[in-house]
Structure 1
Amino acid sequence: MASAGKVTAFRREGNEWFCQSGLPSDIIVTVDGVQFNLHKFPLVSKCGKISEICEASPDKKTLITELEEFPGGPDPFLIAVKFCYGMRVELSPRNIVMIYCAADYLQMTEELGEGNLLSKSENFLHKNVLQNWKDCILALQSCNPVLPNAEQLGIITKCLNAISLMVSTDPSLFGCPMMICFSDVNLKPGKIRSLAEALPESSRPFHDGLYRALDIYFKAHPWLPEREKEELCNIIDYQKLSIDACSHGSQNERLPHRTVLQVLYFEQMQLRTALAGCLHVFDTESRPEPAGPLPGQIVQRDMCVTVVRENQVLKGDMENMKSRVGELEEEFSRIKQGMRRR
């Protein structure tokens, strides 16, 4: 088993990769139909998996093997091969999950040498990716091609835990930044639920952000069954939705019917509470003032004019709320009747 010599580059010809080292290859590895013409020595010195394959066929001058179900396919395998040949490998949030899974599959452990690819991948994940919410989201988005391997290695759980910890210290992260994650068409409902449930209640006193995130997820996944939508909506505490969020949700066709019914109910409650508050204000303002001049009465005249104007605006708001409550009651009854017919 001879050394491959100094390697300067790899070149591709059709469906084959060749190493430019000046020596003929003595091992041919196929990954998802792509053939790699390589050398045993650099691979065996870094990959426990390749070492086992070579030991099982010691007499073959040129070994031909296929790596079935290789995580991520030919691209991460090529990166692992370049690492074995001593070439520089760039790790990033977008490729770290596939490289991590590839290194685990090839058994590139510290037993074969210090600073092997598996430990480098693990260190990069912990020291770089898990320290930044943007990088965590990019890593999660790249998991789909290697999902079973990423789950088995605990990479997804680590990313979700890191995000939940960052959101618990900075609740604003559950707003627009997190929408990037929820708009990913490859993100499974179970991962959405895990992420939302991992967040402590103290990090989200209001659930408007969670509602917006689910709405974006439903928009990106129009094929999602009604039952799965209902299960995801169960993570929302409707009492923590603002009137604006309730108003949007009660007219949102992407939400399941049962959820719309619940949103309508809590919107009615909030509007009635607001209406009662307005009536209390009007009752207080309409009480007769004591007879006789008051100190500073002339000075307060302009303030009184302002209060009258504000009251007129409040009266208009109150009429709008009364009208909206009536509409909600009609819509509430209509949906209930429709659900009974089913």
Structure 2
Amino acid sequence: MASSEKSTSKGQAWFCTTGLPSDIEIEVDDMTFHLHKFPLMSKSRKLHRLITEQETRSFSSLNPQTSTALTVVVAEKEEENEQETEENSFPHIKLEDFPGSSESFEMVAKFCYGVKIDLSASSAVPLRCAAEHLEMTEEYSPDNLISKTERFLSHSVYKSLRESIKALQACESVSPLAESLGVTEQCVESIKQNRDNTNTELWFEDLAQLSLPIFRTVILSMRSEDLSSDVIESCLISYAKKHIPGILRSNRKPSSSSSTAASENEQREILETITSNLPLDKSSISATTRFLFGLLRTAIILNASETCRDLLERKIGSQLERASLDDLLVPSYSYLNETLYDVDLVERILSHFLDSLEERSSTALVEADGRSPSLMLVGKLIDGFLAEIASDANLKSEKFYNLAISLPDQARLYDDGLYRAVDVYLKAHPWVTEEEKEKICGVMDCQKLTLEACTHAAQNERLPLRTVVQVLFFEQLQLRHAIAGTLLAAQSPSPSQSTEPRPGEEEVDAGKWKKTVRENQVLRLDMDTMRTRVHRLERECSNMKKVIAKIDKVGSPATTVTDRPRSWSITKKFGCKFKTQVCDSQEATVVDHRSRRV
């Protein structure tokens, strides 16, 4: 048997050259098959029934008694069929919605004529559906097409992961019938069972080739059987990278084949499908956080649903300690936001992190001082974000303040990062009022600044006077504690040391003692310098007080004798709970120290 093509009014034609003229035409899609009745009727119950009905109608149309009993409409249709039959001299059958299109029917025709057909994973699925559609069962004819395709799928397809994926791809064109026959389910089960026998990366790449409806079916099946959440998450990540370009900032090269790129609506549907199937628990994959931020940026650009974005924000919040500063810098894509970066988004993610931290606080790892490592990592991350956005001229002081105080005190061991952010903000916003400056500086705890930060803050002209005085006071306390600790360490012998010094230990101890004395002298000198600086500030404040008092006397009516001058205290003015005498550089003890050094 051979087949040839020639042009007809109905499109392409397929002929069976067996030496006998064709006695039936079967039209599938745009292809007309010129075949013989007997081979088709011997294998297919449905074709046998259709051909018999066609012959019966043709015979009835030639009987005048039957034709007079029919209505006018039916008579007209039968006249058309009669004319078509007379023109072609044999019946014509059109198969609507044939599974697998004309290619599958061509293989069916070859099978009916006894020609050997080569099956593959891609062709066996539509051929199995076509055999079901044509009712080519074992009861009707032994060794029929249904049993042949079933054996091939069981022995050659379902046992191989790669072949099962190819068969699953072929299920898309015949999805309703393939699902009802259980072919789709068998392919999915084969994929799950053979996952351990192949390379994981190749497994993810093969699944990424599936269409979205078939891929959704696979994911739902995985979730129903409690498969590892990491496996499901990795599978979703691989699929998103394949079909949504530009998720990761490091991979934003335009695709070489723009025709295969998904449209904006298709990308939105893929993104929402992936987001809805992401496991909500914390992932053990470190690279997931950056991928989630990429999904979130894409969701904002594609204007995905609020539910989709909220799920991504919650998922990111559950593992925020794994994020980097670059991840948090999400641009403001909406014209409603005045700032360069989306600060409101970071506030919402941080809120989700704190909520999740409370939920897992009972089982979370906590250090001896009650600090959570995750919380401290996020504190450092937020301080870096504050320093990055502080230079934005459109950033309101209220928004900066709210984000800075959103973290609890345990999140920061030192406030140096927060001080840096405050300094950058004051430098970029010189027009803020003194009241706003004091409020912004109030987010810092001066007791948690290191000596380096205290030294810088004491000389920072952008800070309000109250903050400078507080910094100087706590810097003095730190120096005192450092001196006391050094003296105690030098004077108290180690328990492991013996009562009698070993040979040469006296010289070593003497050298250590001299070094300690020199360090103490340097520390005392620094303390004297700070006292002098504080004393200078006190004098400036006193002069300011006198000037204000003179202005009040000039501008106000004469006061009575009984009026008392207003009391003025630097401790009340600047909120410092210490006596000014502590910082007085004219104390006798300080003079004695200086006289000794001289």
Kindly state the Cα deviation for residue 127 of structure 1 after the two structures are TM-superposed.
1.7
2:179 maps to what in 1?
151
Q: Does 2:12 correspond to 1:12?
A: no
Equivalent position amino acid for 1:130 in 2: Y
2:219 pairs with 166, 183, 193, which one?
A: 193
Equivalent position amino acid for 1:260 in 2: L
1:212 maps to what in 2?
237
Kindly state the Cα deviation for residue 83 of structure 1 after the two structures are TM-superposed.
0.5
Q: Does 2:311 correspond to 1:259?
A: yes
1:41-52 correspondence to structure 2 within 5 Å: 41-52=38-49
Is the contact made by 2:5 and 2:13 (CA closer than 8 Å) also made in structure 1?
yes
User: Structure 2 CA distance, aligned partners of 1:278 and 1:244?
Assistant: 24
User: Structure 2 CA distance, aligned partners of 1:44 and 1:207?
Assistant: 48
Kindly state the Cα deviation for residue 156 of structure 1 after the two structures are TM-superposed.
1.1
Kindly state the Cα deviation for residue 214 of structure 1 after the two structures are TM-superposed.
4.3
Q: Does 2:128 correspond to 1:86?
A: no
1:38 maps to what in 2?
35
2:210 maps to what in 1?
184
SS of the residue 2:18 aligns to: coil
1:27 pairs with 24, 28, 31, which one?
A: 24
Kindly state the Cα deviation for residue 99 of structure 1 after the two structures are TM-superposed.
0.5
Change (3 A) 1:263 1:92: same
1:234-249 correspondence to structure 2 within 5 Å: 234-237=276-279, 238-249=281-292
1:104 maps to what in 2?
132
Q: Deviations over 1:273-309 (max 9, x none)?
A: 9xx98988xxxxxxxxxxxxxxxxxxxxxxxxxxxxx
Larger radius of gyration: 2
User: Structure 1 CA distance, aligned partners of 2:30 and 2:318?
Assistant: 57
Kindly state the Cα deviation for residue 196 of structure 1 after the two structures are TM-superposed.
3.3
User: How big is the alpha-carbon RMSD for the aligned residues of Structure 1 and Structure 2?
Assistant: 3.7
Is the contact made by 2:207 and 2:239 (CA closer than 8 Å) also made in structure 1?
no
User: Structure 2 CA distance, aligned partners of 1:165 and 1:198?
Assistant: 15
Specify every segment of 5 or more residues in structure 2 that has no aligned partner in the other structure, as ranges: 59-88, 245-260, 300-307, 324-352, 358-363, 369-375, 390-398, 404-598
Change (3 A) 1:134 1:206: closer
Q: Identity of paired residues, percent?
A: 25
Moved more, 18-27 or 103-112: 103-112
Equivalent position amino acid for 2:282 in 1: Q
User: Structure 2 CA distance, aligned partners of 1:228 and 1:178?
Assistant: 16
1:53 maps to what in 2?
50
User: Structure 1 CA distance, aligned partners of 2:176 and 2:232?
Assistant: 31
Q: Deviations over 1:217-243 (max 9, x none)?
A: 652755247577445423322412423
Change (3 A) 1:178 1:225: closer
Is the contact made by 1:218 and 1:224 (CA closer than 8 Å) also made in structure 2?
no
Change (3 A) 1:31 1:265: same
2:265 maps to what in 1?
223
Give the TM-score, by structure 1 length: 0.71
Is the contact made by 1:76 and 1:102 (CA closer than 8 Å) also made in structure 2?
yes
SS of the residue 1:94 aligns to: helix
Is the contact made by 1:30 and 1:67 (CA closer than 8 Å) also made in structure 2?
yes
2:192 maps to what in 1?
164
Is the contact made by 1:31 and 1:68 (CA closer than 8 Å) also made in structure 2?
yes
Is the contact made by 1:164 and 1:198 (CA closer than 8 Å) also made in structure 2?
no
Q: Deviations over 1:102-137 (max 9, x none)?
A: 111111111232221111111111221111111111
Q: Does 2:293 correspond to 1:250?
A: yes
SS of the residue 1:128 aligns to: helix
User: Structure 2 CA distance, aligned partners of 1:119 and 1:104?
Assistant: 10
User: Structure 2 CA distance, aligned partners of 1:69 and 1:206?
Assistant: 38
User: Structure 2 CA distance, aligned partners of 1:171 and 1:260?
Assistant: 33
Number of positions where the alignment pairs a residue of Structure 1 with one of Structure 2: 286
Change (3 A) 1:193 1:208: closer
Equivalent position amino acid for 1:12 in 2: E
User: Structure 2 CA distance, aligned partners of 1:328 and 1:74?
Assistant: 61
Q: Deviations over 1:75-118 (max 9, x none)?
A: 10000000000101111011111111111111111123222111
Is the contact made by 2:4 and 2:14 (CA closer than 8 Å) also made in structure 1?
yes
User: Structure 1 CA distance, aligned partners of 2:111 and 2:198?
Assistant: 40
SS of the residue 1:57 aligns to: helix
1:233 maps to what in 2?
275
Equivalent position amino acid for 2:112 in 1: C
User: Structure 2 CA distance, aligned partners of 1:208 and 1:76?
Assistant: 37
1:114-125 correspondence to structure 2 within 5 Å: 114-125=142-153
Kindly state the Cα deviation for residue 143 of structure 1 after the two structures are TM-superposed.
2.0
Structure with bigger RCO (C-alpha 8 Å, 6+ apart): 1
User: Structure 2 CA distance, aligned partners of 1:142 and 1:225?
Assistant: 22
Equivalent position amino acid for 2:25 in 1: I
User: Structure 2 CA distance, aligned partners of 1:91 and 1:185?
Assistant: 23
SS of the residue 1:12 aligns to: coil
